[in-house]
């Protein structure tokens, strides 16, 4: 396992000097090349590229339609426990926060699943806090079995695991993994993960790779924008996806661009990712990684998500609740963060269709 070795290659690289040296011609050349290398990626992330967003958007749309057609896959998250033994300064579930804690029993998970399934969505993302004693492998296995009765695809966003544990969950029905590095900057990583298992930067960094080794069908990664230098985060995440794609040909890789939202504990992001730069990063990802899925969640505002449709996105969450038991009980007291796009699944489906995109509820079935 070796993405850290790739990061180390850029230890002495002067990002600011490179970004400042990028000219208009370099950006235009990078947009129109058939294959783009690491320097093209840097050119597309530079401030100079902001002047060429329209050209980037045209190319991004072309590549997205070439690899994905005019389709948007929909999914919904289900939170089943918000107990957590980690102290992440940006998260409402952090163990130091005095919030209502909730841990769903099997019958409550089923109730949530039934409520979510009414939307017609067939892809579910299972989330928990990181409390291994309570959220044990067996508990997760049982939850996956329940969800499989209602959904074609069950992916997980839980604590990092060993290959064998992923293999166990795959047996139960899991087919995909979402794991955010949060920040690729090792020093910042230590500063924002104060205690608990999550403070192990390297174990987390190698997690997507362990998921691919376990032969999961799909792995989705991303930084959490706001914790460290945004341009470097975007760069190292894009390079991470490319490293994984080059080494694990049987797995589909996707990328998310989460930005910090309001959470319990009042954390304020030190580095702001504005909307224009967000769009630029998304376009740069599409041009550098034409076959990678791009996932935009309800963290983003409705009107902004609508505008992103034509620019390279392939996956939307639609009608998300981030509280434990948020669908059946409609209880918001355990929300992990506040969503920005509060529209229902039906409203999002209508919007996607109105822009002539096909809504994908299901693109996969496990054959046993």
What is d(CA 156, CA 206) in angstroms, rounded to the nearest whole number?
16
Of 198 and 217, CB closest to ligand SF4 = 198
Relative to beta strand 193-195, strand 87-88 is antiparallel
Nearer to ligand SF4, 41 or 159 (CB): 159
- The total of other beta-carbon atoms located within 10 Å of residue 58's CB is 14
- Report if residue 198 touches ligand SF4, rule: CB under 6 A: yes
What does the alpha-carbon distance between residue 283 and residue 280 come to, in Å, rounded to a whole number? 5
Query: Does 130 help bind ligand SF4 (rule: CB under 6 A)?
Result: yes
Among 31, 73, 78, 129, binds ligand SF4 (CB under 6 A): 129
Which stretch, 83-91, 118-126, 140-148, 289-297, contacts ligand SF4 (CB under 6 A)? 83-91
Q: Are 205 and 179 in contact (CB under 8 A)?
A: no
Q: How far is the CB of 209 from ligand SF4 (least distance, A)?
A: 20
Write out the two tokens for 240: 């991470």
The smaller minimum CB distance to ligand SF4, of residues 324 and 349, is found at 324
Select from 26, 72, 74, 84 the one that contacts ligand SF4 (CB under 6 A): 84
Stretches 56-64, 87-95, 139-147, 199-207: which one binds ligand SF4 (CB under 6 A)?
A: 87-95
Q: Which is nearer to ligand SF4, 129 or 176 (CB)?
A: 129
Using the rule CB under 6 A, which residue among 45, 72, 74, 91 binds ligand SF4?
91
Instruction: State how far the Cα of 233 lies from the Cα of 227, in Å rounded to an integer.
Output: 9
113 touches 151 (CB < 8 A): yes
Work out whether 93 is an interface residue with ligand SF4 (CB under 6 A).
yes
Task: Give the DSSP per-residue string, 221-258.
Answer: EEE-BTSS-HHHHHHHHHHHHHHHHHH-TTSEEEEE--
Residues that bind ligand SF4 (CB under 6 A): 84, 86, 88, 91, 93-94, 129-130, 198
């Amino acid at each position: 396992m070796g993405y850290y070795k790739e990061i180390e290659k850029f230890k002495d690289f002067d990002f600011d000097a490179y970004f400042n040296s990028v000219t208009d011609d370099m950006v235009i050349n990078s947009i129109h090349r058939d294959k783009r290398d690491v320097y093209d990626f840097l050119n597309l992330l530079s401030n100079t590229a902001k002047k060429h967003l329209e050209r980037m958007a045209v190319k991004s749309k072309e590549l997205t339609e070439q690899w994905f057609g005019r389709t948007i896959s929909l999914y919904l998250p289900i939170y089943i426990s918000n107990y957590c033994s980690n102290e992440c300064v940006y998260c409402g579930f952090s163990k130091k926060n005095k919030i209502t804690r909730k841990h769903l029993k099997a019958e409550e998970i089923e109730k949530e699943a039934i409520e979510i399934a009414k939307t017609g969505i067939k892809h579910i993302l299972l989330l928990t806090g990181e409390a291994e004693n309570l959220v044990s492998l067996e508990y997760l296995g049982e939850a996956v079995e329940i969800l499989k009765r209602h959904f074609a695809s069950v992916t997980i966003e839980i604590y990092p695991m060993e290959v064998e544990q992923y293999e166990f969950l795959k047996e139960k029905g899991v087919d995909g993994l979402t794991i955010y590095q949060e920040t690729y900057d090792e020093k910042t990583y230590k500063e924002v993960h104060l205690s608990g298992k999550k403070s192990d930067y390297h174990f987390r960094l190698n997690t997507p790779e362990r998921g691919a080794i376990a032969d999961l069908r799909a792995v989705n990664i991303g930084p959490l924008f706001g914790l460290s230098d945004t341009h470097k985060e975007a760069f190292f995440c894009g390079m991470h996806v490319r490293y994984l794609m080059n080494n694990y040909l049987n797995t589909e890789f996707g990328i998310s661009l989460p930005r910090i939202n309001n959470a319990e504990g009042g954390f304020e992001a030190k580095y702001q990712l504005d909307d224009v730069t967000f769009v630029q990063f998304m376009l740069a990802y599409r041009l550098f990684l034409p076959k990678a899925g791009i996932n935009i969640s309800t963290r983003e505002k409705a009107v902004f998500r609508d505008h992103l449709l034509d620019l390279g996105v392939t996956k939307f969450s639609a009608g998300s609740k981030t509280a434990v038991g948020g669908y059946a009980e409609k209880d918001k007291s355990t929300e992990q963060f506040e969503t920005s796009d509060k529209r229902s699944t039906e409203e999002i489906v209508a919007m996607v269709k109105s822009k002539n995109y096909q809504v994908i509820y299901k693109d996969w079935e496990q054959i046993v």
